[in-house]
Amino acid sequence: MDSQALSALMKRCQAGDKEAWSELVDLYWQRLFGYAYKATRNKDLASDLVQETFLRVVQKFDRYSDQGKFEAWLFRIIVNLVRDNGRANARRQMRSTVVDHETGSELTDHLAGKVAADGVEHREDCQKLYSALEQLSEMDRQVLLLRHYGCMSFKEIASVLGCPLGTVLARAHRALGKLRVIMEVDHETS
């Protein structure tokens, strides 16, 4: 959707048009959910976080002035929510261990169910990629998840994370390098 159409849609939302809200949610939910799902590894939690993101938008929409940065704003909200959720989970360490275990298996189940059609080899590669992603630092993983699941450009990611483009590119470069190394080590050991 181009910026003019998005601007018109947001004006309709600000006017309280219910259909416009449905359109807006339809437009972004999949990217937001994709990022939140991969970051939290929990489908229900990711769905809640996406809803919470839109609720924050609803709460502050009256004061929002459109400067063509809506998408960055939206993703900044969900990135912060995911980060807050991660911190809350870290505080509940005992529970976190159980959740990780459960959601880890949930992720594997999904992979097993859907990706199985693509062949065992591909599925194993994907699992390796996921476990390699797990081993990255939070900031490095965040950049890659926003790039791949949030479908954001590096420039937009820089805007969301509030850091220079060079920093984002450096993180992405480092993260991709680590990912490659982890994958190669895994491949050699297997």
96 or 131: whose CB is closer to another protein? 131
Sites for another protein among residues 114-173 (CB under 8 A): 114-115, 118, 125-126, 129-130, 133, 144, 147-149, 153-155, 165-166, 169-170, 172-173
Q: Count the neighbouring beta carbons within 10 Å of the beta carbon of residue 84.
A: 12
Q: How far apart are CA 22 and CA 135, in angstroms?
A: 37
Collect contacts of 125-128 with beta carbons under 8 A, ≥24 apart.
128/183, 128/186, 128/187
Nearer to another protein, 95 or 155 (CB): 155
The nearer residue to another protein, 89 or 108, going by C-beta atoms, is 108
Q: Which of residues 3-32 bind another protein (CB under 8 A)?
A: 16, 18, 21-22, 25-26, 29-30
Out of 10, 111, 139, 163, the residue judged to bind another protein by CB under 8 A: 111
Taking CB under 8 A as the binding criterion, the range among 44-52, 76-84, 85-93, 94-102 that sits at the site for another protein is 44-52
Report the chain's terminal Cα–Cα distance, integer Å.
Answer: 45
Q: Does 183 bind another protein (CB under 8 A)?
A: yes
Task: Classify 151 in phi/psi space as left (phi over 0), alpha (psi -120 to 50) or beta.
Answer: left
